Amino acid sequence: MDFYRVIDADTIECLLCRHHCKLPQDRFGICNINKNQNNSLHTIVTNHPSAIHIDPIEKKPLFHFHPTTQTLSIGTIGCNFRCPFCQNWQLSFGSEIGQMEITPFDMLNIASKYQVKSISYTYNEPSVFYPYAKEIGELVSLKGIKNIFVTNGYESIEEIEDMQWVDAANIDLKSFDSKYYKQVLKGNLDYVLDTIERMYKKGIWIEITTLVIPSIDETQIRQMAQFIASLSSDIPWHLSAFYPNYKMSTASPTTLDTLFAYQQIASEYLKYVYLGNVALPAITYCPTCNKELIIREGFDVVSNILDVDKCPNCHTTIAGVFGDN
């Protein structure tokens, strides 16, 4: 699929994300990396990542998908949101294409050289460089390497339906306020919720991340938890501490008391709720007997007593993708 449709002799509609930008000749969409070139869609960052690094998979964060393994993280420039708290704003809103030239075959060679379990499309929004990501992903999956999307959840329906090659995703749920999504983030909350549901039903392993910015309150936390639980109480939710950054450099950071309170609310609905961006252990407990199963300090797993995917104490199955699955 080419992920665009021709509207007339000079205009196409981009189908990579929910914005469905209408692009006249030589014009870019909101992401600033996809343009109408000769009445077809051209992704200018293909073969030109701006960031590449090997990370613990726990850094994505994914806690229930092949824990303790390494992932090759790649990103480009470009984004379809305008988050004022963006942690990677230099990439998301950057204008210079990466100077590296790395083809999908090069990426496979790098992944094989460093023996990573997966490739993560991350740092900026991967849905906007989907054609490049897909070419890499389909190639490396033939070698048993997994593919991970770290995303804001604004993929188009067409893109989600094409994601047979994607194994896992961490999806940002940035707020539960429709006006905030529209006016500040330049997105649509309902579309993000729809993406989460579609990816879950498609069989992609998903985990959710919420950066606890000052505008998020207890009511939103409860609404988010209820929504996630309506799909499955097994979906892990990461509540991450906010620190002043980008256009919110004077805002107050999230307090530990706030995080603990929100974790307690979320745990009324979900089995696995984690705190992120804090200097505290992140522990996976058995939801039946409360046994400590996986203990993480930072991005390091310091203890893992899972029997593949079962609690060794009571034999409850722990949701996730573990072992050689």
Distance, in Å, from the CA atom of 238 to the CA atom of 217, rounded to the nearest integer, reads 16
Q: Quick one: pLDDT at residue 263?
A: 98
Residues 53, 195, 14: CA angle, nearest 5 degrees: 80
Q: Quick one: pLDDT at residue 140?
A: 98
Residue by residue, pLDDT tens for the chain (325 residues) are 789 999 999 999 999 999 999 999 999 999 999 999 999 999 999 999 999 999 999 999 999 999 999 999 999 999 999 999 999 999 999 989 999 999 999 999 999 999 999 999 999 999 999 999 999 999 999 999 999 999 999 999 999 999 999 999 999 999 999 999 999 999 999 999 999 999 999 999 999 999 999 999 999 999 999 999 999 999 999 999 999 999 999 999 999 999 999 999 999 999 999 999 999 999 999 999 999 999 999 999 999 999 999 999 999 999 999 977 5
- Cβ(200)–Cβ(237) below 8 Å: no
- Cβ(126)–Cβ(133) below 8 Å: yes
Q: Quick one: pLDDT at residue 304?
A: 96
In whole angstroms, how large is the CA radius of gyration of the chain?
20
Q: Quick one: pLDDT at residue 325?
A: 59
Q: Quick one: pLDDT at residue 58?
A: 98
| List of domains in the chain | 43-280 (3.20.20.70), 281-325 (no CATH)
- The burial of 237, by beta-carbon neighbours within 10 Å (0-12 exposed, 13-18 middle, 19 or more buried), is given as buried
Q: Quick one: pLDDT at residue 1?
A: 76
Instruction: Determine which helix (DSSP H) or strand (DSSP E) holds 60, and give its type and residue range.
Output: none
From 192, 262, 259, 166, select the one nearest 220 (Cα to Cα). Answer: 262
Residues 68, 90, 181: CA angle, nearest 5 degrees: 85
Q: Quick one: pLDDT at residue 297?
A: 96
